[in-house]
Amino acid sequence: MRTLQGNIPGYMIVMILSMGAFGVMGGALVAPALPTIGRAFEVPEGQQGFILSVYTLAAALSLPFIGYLIDVIGRRRVALACLLIDGAAGVSIIFAPSFGVVLILRFIQGIGIAGLIPVAMTIIGDLFSGEKRLQIMGYLTGIISLGAAVIPTLGGALASFDWRFVFAVYGLGFVFALFFLFTLPETSPFHFNAGSSSDNNNNQGDKTNQNTAHKSPIEYINSLFTVFKNKSIRNIMFQPLMNYFFLYALVTFFPIFLVTVHGFAEIFNGLALSMQGLFSAIIASRADLAARFMTWWQRISIGFILKGIAFLLMPLWPTGSFLLSISIIIYGVGFGIVSPTIYNRATKLPPQDLIGSVVAIFNTMRFLGMTLSPFLLGIILGFTTLNVVFLIVGVVSIMWGTFSMSQKMIA
């Protein structure tokens, strides 16, 4: 395939896209196993979600620095480091003697997971342009959605045998790192000489990347603050926080809800989360169709309202009823509407020389939402019940959707 840097072999594209699946394994693979892990370490329900919170907290804290390293030392080195950290910390959890050690290792693992999707997105940006870049980025989004649909089923199935099997899967990171080491070249324009055939636009891009690569950490941090001077960018940054706050309310507490309230086996946890991911992927893949009939802020508002309705319905279904799947489908549709819309806004709004900074902040807010959700809702759960938690989340989601519609954030 002919690209900005010559012919790119098909296997290399597959490897880049596969990073999207690795990037969602941190939560999607482990979430169905939370009840089993909780029983193994005798951890109460309200604290089981910390297994997800500590990894997302690590990702949120490390992502701005990882974004800086992607520009300075190159995509390939960061990708290798992230895969090795992810694999080593994940496999080590198998031998954890206590819940505290599990949390420490999950924190370390979160640092590795944080960079996988941003690196994949950056490499695609290096290699492709125009419609081809949009097409490959669409493939990446599809892989992420399909991974979110399939991986929970795998996690639930493995947890039904032994929770340690779930963390053994992270050993694939070592195998994938070896493939990267021997087959993936550096794609950064600063580290890769595209040759004399580059046009003026590519040469200008090289200069921009050289300037970015020579930025000190302080200059990079200053560029992050500069982003927030743009009100439209500042406003859109709150959307990933709320989007993933509600997602992790579902990912963390719905499996516990199925097992403890409705009496389903752990394998159904994976199936339920997979159903959500599948419907999200289907809807997200048709984002262009929804855009023909609704503005971007209407899509955001409707998506959050649908997710709120899904949560409000959860306590109303009969015990042990498969009607719970209706809530999962509604949530999947809402998430599939919101996600591509806000990702598009995040890449469309910023000037060219600040796109990397905006993507780093955007993903930091995404991980912050993942971190806050299990923590805050876990506190609420300590004083109430899962039904009350879902009702609160449902009301807040609908309120956020209504607020987004009233704001019509600056286009």
pLDDT of residue 215: 60
**pLDDT, the chain, mean:** 82
Question: How far is the C-alpha of 49 from the C-alpha of 57, rounded, in Å?
Answer: 12
Flag whether pLDDT at 342 surpasses 90.
no
* Axis crossing angle, helix 200-213 with helix 50-72, rounded to the nearest 10: 120
Question: How far is the C-alpha of 161 from the C-alpha of 358, rounded, in Å?
Answer: 42
Tell me the average pLDDT across 167-177. 92
Q: Closest Cα partner for 238 from 173, 308, 300, 152?
A: 300
Task: Report which residue type is found at 367.
Answer: F
Question: How far is the C-alpha of 308 from the C-alpha of 312, rounded, in Å?
Answer: 6
Evaluate whether 254 touches 373 at the Cβ level (below 8 Å).
no
Range among 39-48, 208-217, 304-313, 330-339 with highest mean pLDDT value: 304-313
Question: How far is the C-alpha of 17 from the C-alpha of 33, rounded, in Å?
Answer: 26
Tell me the average pLDDT across 156-176. 91
* Axis crossing angle, helix 50-72 with helix 116-127, rounded to the nearest 10: 30
Tell me the average pLDDT across 326-351. 83
Flag whether pLDDT at 400 surpasses 90.
yes
Token pair, residue 46, equals 């309200």
pLDDT tens-place string over residues 280-292: 888 877 777 777 7
Task: Report which residue type is found at 111.
Answer: I
Question: How far is the C-alpha of 200 from the C-alpha of 207, rounded, in Å?
Answer: 11
Higher-pLDDT residue of 146 and 76 is: 76
pTM for this predicted structure = 0.75
pLDDT of residue 57: 86
Under the banding of pLDDT at 50, 70 and 90, the label for residue 410 is: very low
Tell me the average pLDDT across 203-220. 55
pLDDT of residue 355: 64
pLDDT tens-place string over residues 56-114: 889 888 988 887 788 778 788 999 999 999 999 999 999 999 999 999 999 999 999 88
SS (H, E, C) the chain: CEECCEECCHHHHHHHHHHHHHHHHHHHCCHHHHHHHHHHCCCCHHHHCHHHHHHHHHHHHHHHHHHHHHHHCCHHHHHHHHHHHHHHHHHHHHHCCCHHHHHHHHHHHHHHHHCHHHHHHHHHHHHCCHHHHHHHHHHHHHHHHHHHHHHHHHHHHHHCCCHHHHHHHHHHHHHHHHHHHHHCCCCCCCCCCCCCCCCHHHHHHHHHHHHHHCCCHHHHHHHHHHHCCCHHHHHHCHHHHHHHHHHHHHHHHHHHHHHHCCCCCHHHHHHHHHHHHHHHHHHHCCHHHHHCCCCHHHHHHHHHHHHHHHHHHHHHCCCCCCCHHHHHHHHHHHHHHHHHHHHHHHHHCCCHHHHHHHHHHHHHHHHHHHHHHHHHHHHHHHHCCHHHHHHHHHHHHHHHHHHHHHHCCCC
Across 37-41, 160-164, 227-231, 333-337, least confident range:
227-231
pLDDT of residue 270: 75
Contacts of residue 274, defined as CB under 8 A and 6 or more positions apart, other chains included, come to 149, 150, 151, 152, 153
Under the banding of pLDDT at 50, 70 and 90, the label for residue 310 is: very high
Domains and CATH numbers, the chain: 2-407 (1.20.1250.20)
